[in-house]
Structure 1
Amino acid sequence: MTPDDLYALLPAVHRRLDAENGHRLYALLSVIAEQARTVQEDMEQLYDNWFIETCEDWVVPYIGDLVGHRLLPGTAAALADGAGSPNGATAVTVPRRDVADTIAHRRRKGTLALLEDLAAGVAGWPARAVEYRRLLAVTQPVRRYGADPHDARRRLLRGGLVDVRHVDVLDRVGGPFDELARTVEVPRTGSARRPGRYGIPGVGLHVWRLRTHSVTQAPALCVDRARARYTFSVLGNDTPLFTAPVPEPSPCHVADEMNVPAPLRRRALAERLYDYYGPSKSVCVWTGGQVVAPNRIVSADLSGWHYRPRSGQVALDPVLGRIAFPPGEAPAGGHDIRVTYHHAVPGDLGGGEYPRAGAAAVTTAPNRYKVGPDREYGRISDAIDQWRSDKRWHPEKAEAVVEITGNDLYQDLTEIRLDLGDRLTIRAVDGVRPVIRLPLPSGDRPRALQITGTDADAGTDAASGTGEAAGTDSDIHDVHDIHVAAGRKQPPHLVLDGLVITGGSVQVRGSVGRLTIRHCTFVPGWELGPRSEPRHPDAAGLEIFDSPVRVDVEHSVIGTVGIARADEAPEPNVVALSDSVLDATSRDAAALTGSHGEPAHAVLTAHRTTVIGVVRARAVDLLEDCLLHGEAQITRRAQGSVRFCWLPTGSRTPPRFHCEPEHSGDAERVALRFAGTRYGTSDYVRLADGCAEEITRGAHDGAEPGALHDLFQLLREDNLRVRLAEFTPAGCDAGLFFAT
């Protein structure tokens, strides 16, 4: 409904009189039309709220109540907290898909396929259901041998000795796909203390909590050119490869290794090569732009690089993520080898091919410079140089986006110079993970990416040389305490989005107003070794030298942040972290610090952040839902607050609220333990399963604090356990097991 629609309903005489009096009535109808549109949209939404597919999130629990959907204990508090957040606890506590399938699930109660669907619909986890009764070693009844030959053969295979010739069966012992017969275990499968899998009523649901991220046609890293040795990971660490799950053929199908994101085994790759290998499958290798034929691929153990492939073969090790060519048969230079693979991560952090929130909004930017294969620019530095040249003659191009469209390795970017009024975004397009490797130092050039802000005006007239501004940048109005002289543009703003930077640090100098780091990885320790160990553990990831820059870090992984700025500076720097990891590679190393170990002249704000290392800062504004795996030493403890965090004993912070450990005597019981703290491993910053509940449920909404807060892992687990108890038939004993 528009003002013209309402205006057309008026008699012509009133429209004529309104035109003679300055269209005052039309202006009134414009206000009425705006409110009418709001009412009309609300009426349309009321109709959409009748259906589970189109209703709003807050309506889902009410529709679930109509069909008898059981809510978790304590759900009301979670819903009240997450009702306004699209990624909050609402969608996890009351999944829309689970409500929609409630009636259908009741009709399928008692089937293994239903348990797998419950895991996918309730928790969003791939799963495999196992009926342990079929794996028990039993005495074979002789009278049944002649009834059904196929059944007799199946029964003869149960309870026998292990056939050592079936190596693949032995490789799956102890996992979700174990086929060997076992004796009966007395403990119940669902026991909370000591679960026993193998029993007559036992049913196990094995779930995969880790996510798989793909890397598509990315360059492999040559670790030994003479012996033609490569790693799948361009960072140089050994990366276990995982299966890219394929959909199950029917709703009644029980998942196998191809349907779940399980680690790719050497024997499985050897025996089912054509299922795993290919351009659109779990793993693939290109040389010279051509796919290596499957008949050349050999699955091998490349630990220690002892295996030597024969002429014409290419050896792959999916457990270590390594590639070996016969000596002298690798492509010249080693730069034409590209790989596709999948690796496991605990969540969507740092640079990656996963969908990034807000990535589609940038594609409408008016001034874009595309970098990549078959694009106008082959290097990032060329696109930036062209942008600097264009904005001299066209001041409106001071706001621009440099888009990287390929999974390539870029080694040309060493400096980014920004002028007043500039707003530059360097981003990877959605579904791409470019890697920027900083070159080795030479001469006066350090091993770093230099971001320099100058006092020059981006709108300077190139012909006359005057410094008159041609416009203003309206998108940096929230830069912290930066006062701009009248008639001049605001300080520059640089956005890095979806990038992986390795081989050095990022240094900021000069009058840079704001630096936004979004979905990026500044590799902690600059480079990784074979076991993901940092090669330069004491090196900083982000360094600020005499710059008032405000740093915003979102969904990223960065190394140590060092701020070299005098205490007499007018205002401290602002460092704001959210849903990120600040990793100094060790809990005793400095994660945020100033010069020579002094406290950083900065104000720190952190939400849902994991910090590995010591924090030394002048002040904090708010620390909420954070895990600090290292002491926090804050100079000004009269301002700011710390809420729902875990901090080591001995930390000096502003007043705390609901932080752990609350008492020094609880330090041992409420100790913070991670499954892994090395970047590049699949368990990076994931809490260990044995952590105390005060930590795993220590956030303000009952979830785990830290960078993986928004996964709501424990809420998913609670919901799934309730559904298992609801849909498991009487007499069965269902247990939940974590495959990863």
Structure 2
Amino acid sequence: LMDSRSYATGTTPIEIKEGSQLAIVAAGWPLVEKVDSPGVQERRRGQFVPDKLRPHLRGDLSVRGTSTDNPGELLLDGLLVEGKLAVAQTASDGQPASLGGLKVSHCTLVSPNGGIEVQGRNAQLHLRLERTISGGVLVKPATAALEIAESIVLGSIAALETPADIQSSTIFGPSNVRRLDAGNSIFADVATVTLRQEGCVRFSFLAQGSKTPRRFQCQPDTALDLRASAIAKEKGLPKPDPLDPAEIALITGRLRPLFTSMELAAPGFAQLSSLCSEEIRTGAEDGSEMGAFRHLLQPLRAANLRTSLTDYLRVGLEAGLFFVT
């Protein structure tokens, strides 16, 4: 799609043929300077670059595979989809079929009923969201895998028969998955995992009441453990006692994600607020923030800037950091 126009999606599903790959991307011919005319630019056909394009698809988008032996793949990149993205169960002839892969990157899928839904059995499907804002993710039957990376999910994740891998993402709704590997993420609502003997959750925030596999350096668990150990040390106890409910409520009330804005159209949507606790703002594996904006490395960049500021200030001057969205 080579412009930023709005397109109606229609009702006919996209069929991915056996062993094929289809890419629907926002990209255009690049502007390059003519070799024989300095200063004059032209569009070079045959090459595509994703430069300042944001096509708008209005309506639901449906896709289905046509094979179980060698299923095809679909890639969506750079699109605004005002509707639901659905993966159908059967081919046009009514025979069981599967989609092999569905990758959604740099897309926004929003509307009252927006999001992604796998409607039928697609046992070989690898579903991946990458740097995408989506409504809920519903995977009714078992699929091969669900991967979410550097993305924001506004609604719930329901994949009761599918293993999930969630990295550097912000999940606002409840999550219910079969198996979970997660890291550097924010689960603002309760996460429930069926197979808790497998997988791991690392450097993440988990809402109270979550049932997950083993955790490492997660909040508020780490803060609660540190407080219990500190009390035990003060009292000279050999091991920490359980914290009383008031102490737990105090810590968990402080340690929760705060965002600049929850409005999708706002520039600061899903951005961690400066008032958010430091344990979350610097709680990722590399010292950056948990959640979808971890890749910005904002805490590390701010620390480097503070260190360098004094070297460039004249005597008697002071400097401060003022963050924008």
Give the TM-score band, short-chain normalised.
Answer: 0.7 to 0.9
Match of 1:286?
none
Match of 1:427?
25
Equivalenced residue count is: 265
CA shift for structure 1 position 733:
2.5
1:540/1:562 contact within 8 Å kept: no
Per-residue CA distance 1:188-236 (angstroms, 9 max, x = gap): xxxxxxxxxxxxxxxxxxxxxxxxxxxxxxxxxxxxxxxxxxxxxxxxx
1:492 pairs with 2:72: yes
1:593 pairs with 2:158: yes
Q: Which amino acid aligns with 1:522?
A: L
SS of 2:198 mapped into structure 1 = coil
CA shift for structure 1 position 726:
1.7
Q: 1:608 aligns with which of 139, 155, 168?
A: 168
Per-residue CA distance 1:529-569 (angstroms, 9 max, x = gap): xxxxxxx2xx351110222221011111111011122xxx5
1:656 pairs with 2:241: no
Counterpart-to-counterpart distance in 2, 1:554 and 1:451:
19
Counterpart-to-counterpart distance in 2, 1:422 and 1:513:
10
Q: 1:508 aligns with which of 76, 87, 90?
A: 87
Q: Which amino acid aligns with 1:644?
A: F
Q: Which amino acid aligns with 1:607?
A: Q
Q: Which amino acid aligns with 1:513?
A: G
Counterpart-to-counterpart distance in 2, 1:540 and 1:412:
14
CA shift for structure 1 position 677:
2.0
Match of 1:410?
7
CA shift for structure 1 position 687:
0.5
Per-residue CA distance 1:236-282 (angstroms, 9 max, x = gap): xxxxxxxxxxxxxxxxxxxxxxxxxxxxxxxxxxxxxxxxxxxxxxx
Match of 1:682?
267
Q: Which amino acid aligns with 2:84?
A: S
In terms of Rg, which structure is larger? 1
Of stretches 722-731 and 609-618 in structure 1, the one that deviates more from structure 2 is 722-731
Q: 1:705 aligns with which of 267, 270, 290?
A: 290
Counterpart-to-counterpart distance in 1, 2:185 and 2:204:
5
Normalized per residue, which structure has more helix?
A: 1
412 and 641 in structure 1: CA distance in 2 versus 1, 3 angstrom threshold: closer
SS of 1:639 mapped into structure 2 = coil
Alignment of 1:198-237 (within 5 A): none
1:559 pairs with 2:135: yes
- Unaligned residue ranges in structure 2 (runs of 5+): 28-49, 90-97, 225-247
Match of 1:637?
196
Per-residue CA distance 1:470-516 (angstroms, 9 max, x = gap): xxxxxxxxxxxxx83xxxxx1111111111100x2111023101101
Counterpart-to-counterpart distance in 1, 2:322 and 2:151:
28
Alignment of 1:300-449 (within 5 A): 404-414=1-11, 415-429=13-27, 430-431=50-51, 432-438=53-59, 448-449=60-61
1:616/1:632 contact within 8 Å kept: yes
Q: Which amino acid aligns with 1:453?
A: G
CA shift for structure 1 position 737:
2.7
CA shift for structure 1 position 573:
3.7
Normalized per residue, which structure has more strand?
A: 2
Match of 1:520?
107
1:413/1:436 contact within 8 Å kept: no
Q: How large is the Cα RMSD of the aligned pairs?
A: 1.6
CA shift for structure 1 position 730:
2.0
SS of 2:322 mapped into structure 1 = strand
Q: Which amino acid aligns with 2:219?
A: E
SS of 1:619 mapped into structure 2 = strand
Counterpart-to-counterpart distance in 2, 1:556 and 1:674:
18
Per-residue CA distance 1:53-86 (angstroms, 9 max, x = gap): xxxxxxxxxxxxxxxxxxxxxxxxxxxxxxxxxx
The structure with higher relative contact order (CA 8 Å, sep 6+) is 1
Q: Which amino acid aligns with 1:577?
A: I
Counterpart-to-counterpart distance in 2, 1:412 and 1:677:
28
CA shift for structure 1 position 702:
0.2
- Unaligned residue ranges in structure 1 (runs of 5+): 1-403, 439-447, 456-482, 485-489, 527-535, 585-590, 595-599
Match of 2:241?
none
Counterpart-to-counterpart distance in 1, 2:301 and 2:318:
20
SS of 1:718 mapped into structure 2 = helix
1:542 pairs with 2:116: yes
Match of 1:671?
256
Identical counterparts, % of pairs: 31
1:577 pairs with 2:148: yes
Alignment of 1:70-219 (within 5 A): none
TM-score (norm 2): 0.78
1:573/1:601 contact within 8 Å kept: no
1:625/1:700 contact within 8 Å kept: yes
Counterpart-to-counterpart distance in 1, 2:139 and 2:197:
22
553 and 739 in structure 1: CA distance in 2 versus 1, 3 angstrom threshold: closer
TM-score (norm 1): 0.35
699 and 739 in structure 1: CA distance in 2 versus 1, 3 angstrom threshold: closer
Match of 2:313?
728
